[in-house]
Every structure is written in C-alpha cells, then in structure tokens.
Amino acid sequence: MIALVTGAGSGIGAAIAKRLATDGHTVAVNDLSPDAAKATVESIRAVGGTAAAYAADVSDEGAVNAMVGQITEEFGAPDILVNNAGFGHQALFTEIEPDMFDKIFAVHVRGNYLCTRACIPAMLEKGVGHIVNIASQLGQIGGVELTHYAGAKAAVIGMTKSLAREVSAKGVRVNAVAPGPVNTPLVEALSEDWKAAKRAELPLGRFGQPAEVAGVVSFLVSDDAALFAGQTLGPNSGDVML
Ligand code: NAD
C-alpha cells in the first residue's frame, strides 16, 4: 500500500515510516524540515525500502493539497495516512500566549484535519483505507503546564471516534495511538528532574522507544486489526489503564 506519514523526519514518525517500509509499504515521508525528511528516506532506501520525501507544513492547506497531489501522481493515492506531525510546549495556563495556543491547535488539530481531508476521498472511492492519528496519553488524562497540548490531543481523539463512526462502514478504519513518554527529541528537551520523576512512577519503569510505537501503528493498519475502529491504543508503559 501507499503510506503517508507526517512529521516523519524525527522520533516516532521516522520510526513509523521505517516500520511501514519494512512491512512492504511504499512510504511518503513528510516533514516541515526537508533535510529531516530526506534523512528518513535515505535510511529506508539503505535497507531496500521504497520512499520519497515531501516537505510541507501540515497546517498549510495549499501545501498539504499540493503534497497529496504530488504523491498521488508519483505513486498513487495514499491508502494509509499516519497523522503524526507535532511539537511539544510546556507553560502554565496563565503563561500560554494566544499565538502559541493557536499554533498548537494549528499543527495538531488543523493539520490532522487538512491531511485527512486531502487523503480520504480516494480511500472512500476505493472502499479501503487506514488512518492512524498519533494523539498522546495527555489527551486522556491531562497534564500540568500542558492545557493547550493536552486539549489538542483530546481533540484528535474525539475526531478519531467521530470519523470512525462516519466512515468505517465504507471501508476506512480510523484509530488513534496515545503514547506515554517516548525517547525522542521532544521528550529529551524536558528537564532531567521531570524525566526521573516520571520514569519512577511508570509501572513498566521506563519510557518507550519510537519503534515500540511504530509496532502499534503497523498492527493497526494490518488485517489483524480488522475489528479496530475509533479506538485509542495506549503504548504508555502502564501509565494510563483504561
Ligand atoms: P519529534 O520532535 O521527534 O518529531 C516531530 C516531527 O514533526 C519533527 O521532525 C518536526 O519537524 C515535524 N513537524 C513539526 N511540525 C510540523 C508541521 N507543521 N508540519 C510537518 N511536520 C512537522 O517528536 P516526537 O516525539 O516523535 O512526536 C511525534 C508525535 O508524537 C507528535 O504528534 C507528538 O505530539 C506525539 N507524542 C510524542 C510523545 C513523546 O513522548 N515523544 C508522547 C505522546 C505523543
């Protein structure tokens, strides 16, 4: 299948792109950073996979539509869309500036909407498709200094459930993955104190690795997950037990 993974130049997205390529899919690697996207593509090609880089800001409607048009021309319409692009930001509620609030929602929520909007018509036409939205456990339980981020991730979970209700009967499966802390540049940037305290309270006693989240995505787009629609799977080291 043709897979588009957004924000795949780093961390979890890069691991998802590599895993889907290893699974035999052709991968369109999106990132805001052209160099980061190219680096992921090179690592996929180095092990015999098929991939191409597409630099675009997922919150920019024109750029998203142009990217999906180009992928469709070069490989065919994406059968798999993984909405992963995102960034972290921590601030007390009283210190969140309106511009940052808007930016968090633009990338995580509007970006998800725009990429899904660009890809889903072809999936519906074919009667088959997979959408996996990378949310966060913070969208389920909230977090101090994370009102904007957790709010955006909760929106992603709500969108996942609603869209699944709308399109599952038409062959498109929509699910979310809500990771706990995963060792990526996003988490490495947090304070050592926070990381030590968080690690100590996790039932599994450690943060996740990007490849462990990628394995969940690989499962969700496989036939083994045929009964999963509108679900939020939680690779979170046992932090959230629903
Ligand atoms: P990361 O910083 O390693 O990678 C994110 C990538 O997204 C970067 O390469 C960045 O350039 C790209 N990106 C950012 N804004 C973009 C935009 N507007 N358009 C296109 N690309 C853009 O971060 P990560 O930890 O791998 O996070 C990936 C996703 O997982 C994010 O949605 C994040 O919120 C979510 N997440 C991460 C963790 C964690 O602990 N690392 C936990 C839960 C959820």
- Residue-wise pLDDT for 155-200, tens only, equals 999 999 999 999 999 999 999 999 999 999 988 888 898 899 999 9
Task: Examine the residue annotation and report whether 113 is marked as an active-site residue of this protein.
Answer: no
What is the average pLDDT across 17-43?
A: 98
Q: Which residues of 183-221 are buried (b: 16+ CB within 10 A; e: fewer)?
A: bbebbeeeeeeeeeebeeebeeeebbebebbbebbbebb
Give me the catalytic one of 54, 113, 149, 207: 149
Domain ranges of the chain: 2-233
- Complex-level ipTM: 0.99
Q: What is the C-alpha to C-alpha distance for residues 3 and 63, in angstroms, rounded to an integer?
A: 18
Q: Residues with Cβ < 8 Å from 162, sequence gap 6 or more?
A: none
The whole-number average pLDDT for the span 213-233 is 98
Compute the distance from residue 6 Cα to the ligand 1 centre, in Å: 9
Residue with the two structure tokens 């509108």? 230
The tens digit of pLDDT for each residue in 76-107 reads: 999 999 999 999 999 999 999 999 999 999 99
The three-state DSSP-derived secondary structure of 26-39 is EEEEEECCHHHHHH
Residues with CB under 6 A from ligand 1: 6-7, 9-13, 30-33, 36, 57-59, 84-87, 107, 111, 134, 136, 179, 181-182, 184-187
Structure tokens at 194: 């926070």
Secondary-structure class of domain 2-233 per CATH: alpha beta
Ligand 1 atom closest to Cα of residue 179? 43
Q: What is the mean pLDDT of the chain?
A: 97
